[in-house]
Amino acid sequence: MEDAELAQRAVRGDPEAFGSLIDRHGLAARRAARAILRDEDDADDAVQEGMLAAWRAIERFDPARPFRPWLMRIVVNAALDARRRSKVRQAEPIAETLESGGLAPDRMAEAALLRARIDAGLAELPERQRIALVLFDAEGWGHADIAAALGVPEGTVRSYVFHARRAMRQSLGTLAEGMK
Amino acid sequence: MTMSPFDNQPDPELGRLLRERLTGPAPEAFLRRLRLAVAAERADQWDVLAGWARPRVLAAAIAAGFFLWLGAWFTQSAIHDDPGITMAATLPAQTVVSSQAPAVDDIMLALRERGPR
């Protein structure tokens, strides 16, 4: 079933349809929130807050428009709000989640270094560049959808992705080649 | 990793690295948590609605009962206060259904039987 049909059912008050949409977009929302907040508990709370806000506002969703950017915009805003609220707190590093089991010690060290480089690269990016990079390269979104989610022109998204990729290239260097 | 900033397509290698780094632990449990949160929110909404509805439904039922009673009372009073109807009730049946005007004696008899109000 397409997003549009599930969204229409959700608009009519079908919680199961909304649950299916959560299954489809929940993890992408989590990755975007983690790109903004970089603390996994805060990010998870922000995604939950965003999903609840979307559910409460579902009657205002226009089924003629794509659901994914509408949902992601709410989640991104929830994460940005959470970031503003917790600005005084020191951001904690993201927990170790990259699969490295079964690797030889030298490869494990390399994987740890790669994680550190990704974290450092993401941390150096301006917030919106980071979100655009994650949605474009990790989630495979088109520029138009990202533009709708961030509320900026499509050309701005292209610029965000361009600068973010260049910065990540500098941060990762040739290290990522060895992880294939 | 291609990592070309000019590439208009998503970079699969960079995308994989980012997904692995950002997905977080226990994704299934996380999705379950989201679904439960929405289900709980929905239950709360119904509770609020039910809490709002119960006293109002009761008040509406009481008001409807009162207005029905009031309407019935007014109707009864109007019937009793209508002199024509009151008089007709005390006149002999043949006088009321007759096509001719009642005799003066019949009317006087009816008034005497009714007595003073």
* A40 vs A97: CA distance, rounded Å: 11
* A35 vs B22: CA distance, rounded Å: 7
ipTM attached to this prediction: 0.77
pLDDT of residue B70: 86
pLDDT of residue A62: 87
CB atoms within 10 A of CB B23: 18
Lowest mean pLDDT: which of A17-26, A152-161, B7-16, B99-108?
Answer: B99-108
Q: Which residues contact B81 (CB under 8 A, 6 or more apart)?
A: none
A161 in contact with chain B, both atoms CB, cutoff 8 A = yes
Mutation test of the interface with chain B: which of A24, A25, A27, A179, choosing the one with the most B Cβ atoms within 10 A?
A: A27
Nearest-Cα residue of chain A relative to residue B23: A31
For residue range A17-56, list pLDDT tens digits in order.
Answer: 999 999 999 999 999 999 888 788 999 999 999 999 999 9
Sign (positive or negative) of CA dihedral A165, A169, A172, A177: positive
Residues with pLDDT less than 70, chain A:
87-105, 174-180
For residue range A104-117, list pLDDT tens digits in order.
Answer: 667 777 778 888 88
Distance to chain B for A95, nearest Cα, Å = 8
* A38 vs A125: CA distance, rounded Å: 12
pLDDT of residue A96: 52
Mutation test of the interface with chain A: which of B1, B9, B16, B22, choosing the one with the most A Cβ atoms within 10 A?
A: B22
Q: Do A44 and B19 touch (CB under 8 A)?
A: no
A25 in contact with chain B, both atoms CB, cutoff 8 A = no
* B1 vs B20: CA distance, rounded Å: 15
* B13 vs B15: CA distance, rounded Å: 5
Residue B28, pLDDT > 90, answer yes
Region of residue B116 (phi > 0: left; psi between -120 and 50: alpha; otherwise: beta): beta
Which residues of chain B are within 8 Å of residue A144 when distances are taken between CB atoms? none
The residue-averaged pLDDT of B89-99 equals: 63
The full DSSP string for A126-149 is: -HHHHHHHIIIIIT---HHHHHHH
Task: Enumerate the H helices of chain A as residue ranges.
Answer: 3-11, 15-37, 40-56, 67-85, 105-124, 127-133, 143-150, 154-172
Which band of pLDDT confidence, cut at 50, 70 and 90, is reported for residue B74?
A: confident
Model pTM?
A: 0.65
